[in-house]
Amino acid sequence: MTKTAWVFPGQGSQTVGMGADLLDLPEAKAKFEPSDKILGWSVAKIWQSEDDKVSRTLYTQPCLYVMEAILVDLLKARGQQPDFVAGHSLGEYSALYAAGVFSFEDGLRLIKRRAELMDSASDGMMAALLGFDRNQLEQQLQQTPNVVLANDNNAGQVVISGTPDAIEAIIHNVKFKKAVKLNVSGAFHSPLMTEAAVEFQKDLDTVHFSPAQVPVLSNVDPAPATDANLLKERLSRQMTGTVRWREISLRMPEEGIERVVEVGPGKVLTGIIKRTCPNLVLENISGAADLTNL
């Protein structure tokens, strides 16, 4: 049997009109009712909103989680099961749901609170860097206060997070092919999110975690784990910690994984993984149409 990992994208993969072919499916409708009660607004309407509300953090995170959970249910209903799961930032919550660590509703309540805290974060900024010398970047990060490596996606693509002055200093002092300042409300995955993380911990403490049914590769620690307490502890560090996606990708073939299925809108993660592990079989499930090709 081919070992398969399901991976779940995070913020940045959303698009207006995503999930259009899921709207009328019974599995989707079963998720919309509790979602709308928990959130106080309609996920389905935000998915389709032409004014791009889906790209505001407050809406993005719940919308992605609900969509990815629906796709998980559809995959499992067709007899599909992963051997490992992982998710990028927000996507780790979808991975934990797929692994049976918490209920859909508990996960959504956490996501709602996480989105509220991150949407209201006004300090700092983030920037993506492509095509750089890693040694030079790491040296500059060590020498520059108030900026950290937020997302280590692959050898040639990272995101830095910190104060505006510190971000500008890194961009000025590091040679790269391209730098893109991200349209986000704060310095996510950095110490500047500590206050939000402390508040979020209060909500996280109220949620029961069960042992994972399959190993989870966490953002802050790529070593596979199923222990409920360890997975919760790792998640508690995620808001301020680095997303170590490059290491997660490298860990997959070490664990015997041959096939990776990205579950969610777009092809962001498979594109990132391809550069790190070109021999893995990569597939995408972003809607009902993709399920017919299984």
Catalytic residue among 89, 94, 161, 190: 89
Determine the residue type at 213.
Answer: Q
> Is 189 a residue of the active site?
yes
Selection from 70, 50, 75, 187 nearest residue 122 by Cα? 187
Distances in Å between the Cα of 205 and the Cα atoms of 180, 199, 232, 235 are 36, 11, 9, 11
Selection from 88, 91, 172 nearest residue 129 by Cα? 172
> Is 89 a residue of the active site?
yes
Sign of CA dihedral 121, 124, 127, 132: negative
Q: Hunting for tokens 């919550």 — which residue is that?
A: 93
Q: What is the DSSP string of 39-100?
A: HSS-HHHHHH-TT-GGGSHHHHHHHHHHHHHHHHHHHHHTT---SEEEESTTHHHHHHHHTT
Cα 236 vs. chain centroid, distance in angstroms?
A: 14
Catalytic residue among 13, 88, 161, 189: 189
Cβ within 8 Å of residue 36, ≥6 positions away: 42, 43
Dihedral, 267, 275, 83, 237 alpha carbons, nearest 10: -80
The residues annotated with a catalytic role in the active site are: 89, 189
